[in-house]
Structure 1
Amino acid sequence: MPVHRPGPVHPRPLTAVVAALLAALSLTLPLSTAHAATTPARGSAHMGMGVLAHDGQDGTPTTGDVTQTEGVDVSGHQGNVAWSTLWNSGVRWAYTKATEGTYYTNPYFAQQYNGSYNIGMIRGSYHFATPDTTSGATQANYFADHGGGWSRDGKTLPGALDIEWNPYGAACYGKSAGAMVSWIADFLNTYRARTGRDAVIYTATSWWTQCTGNYGGFASDNPLWIARYASDPGTLPAGWSYYTMWQYTSSGPTVGDHDKFNGALDRVVALANG
């Protein structure tokens, strides 16, 4: 009876072996490594970048009988903005991203900042904070030097500090609540020394609670710009009994981020005049 011997063993192609190893390795990679592949590029952050994921979904604002004034906020993400379209839709104020950290300036800043002003809007600029890269004072100076200044012309709002979820890593930028409060104070004090104005604070209640311990010490001087995509702004951070501005959606007409100023147009002018 013939003996059936096994045939020769053919080695797997090297590419197949590598592919199998990579596939196995991907199953054991830590979440932080997988996240790194989708981390956005530095400089691409903008107001409300983390709000949809953390603090409610887009909704129709319910403002009751309170007179409010429509506004927008824009960044390099929007490119050249159709300001006449926004003006004709009733938008009367705007904020433009000027800077982020100490490494980024918005390439569309001139078109956005000057364009809103030229169409008749009251405008301001904002800084996206990265507390893990440089000090609050350093970033406030960078902001003031690159579009964050202020002039008493009745059409320029005080600069805004956008302090929210870190799009590049840990939500609180690796800082304790106390260290975060100190960083914010450093920024605000320096900005006031440079411009004579108290900066607006843009944030979301859930982030503020998590990352500052719901600190209430800035409410007496710094106007609140609350971010919440829902039918109402919800519970405000400690210390503030009312909001000055509310970013209520990221999917509005013409540009995504739309806001309500908590008052009529004359109150927007009053904030601009200080």
Structure 2
Amino acid sequence: MKPILEVDRLNVRFLPRNGMPVDAVQALSFSLEAGETLGMVGESGSGKSQTAMAIMGLLPSNARVSGAVRYGGTDLLKLDRRSLNRLRGERIAIVFQDPMTALNPFLTIERQLTEPLQTHRGLSRRDARRRAIEALEQVHIPDAARRIGMYPHEFSGGMRQRAAIAMALVTEPRILIADEPTTALDVTVQAQIVDLLGTLIRGRGMSMLLITHDMGIVAGLCDRVVVMCAGRAVEQADAARLFAVPAHPYTVGLLNARPRLRSRMQETIAGGCDER
């Protein structure tokens, strides 16, 4: 079966006004299957977010992109702005790590959810509002019919992220790119957002590219994993295999860097207590 998204030897280079060019992504290739959740992991600066921005056509003007990003046989890197905007609204959506990046602080939540429905789905204002309320309810925002008239600053951080997810999914795209979707949230809300994303993606049969540095999230959500280091993919494997038998030293380092509930000192103390 042909992948729903193919990234072929993607390169992203930034040309600063002063200084040497920076190669953020180098010869990166991977594919995303229909209904699959693909994790992309690596430390900050490894090229994960720049990959997402390149796919979505959201890089700044000083970026130079080469290679190919194919969706349904169409190379997204060759589309004009109008065609890309249409595809982004209907087929591919993104959730950012900071919901205030995605949500316009000057527009109500209602306006931000109904506009894509009217533009891309041709719904009337009344039908778009009803569908927007349903979208907020699906991401578990309480009293959605009242809260839809609020502005982003009137929502908590967790509710803003839920609203951003609702906005990304309201037109029912086939692919969701989630770029560090829980980074700005506290631990309890992080778990809720991860569970919500998993439920929504599985329930809709969507594909997701999940960008994160949290290996625990990868273990719970992802089918396959791409490990990024210095702009390159150093390992690609099924999630279960990667955690069981990591092939690259950098992957081993990432796995060893995971927080542990019990430190070695605690284990030693516990062992001593058991002996008594």
TM-score range, shorter chain: 0.3 to 0.5
What is the TM-score normalised by the length of structure 2? 0.34
Query: Which structure has the larger Rg?
Result: 1
Q: Larger % of strand: which? A: 2
User: Which structure ranks higher in relative contact order (CA pairs < 8 Å, sequence separation ≥ 6)?
Assistant: 2
What is the TM-score normalised by the length of structure 1? 0.35
Q: Larger % of helix: which? A: 2
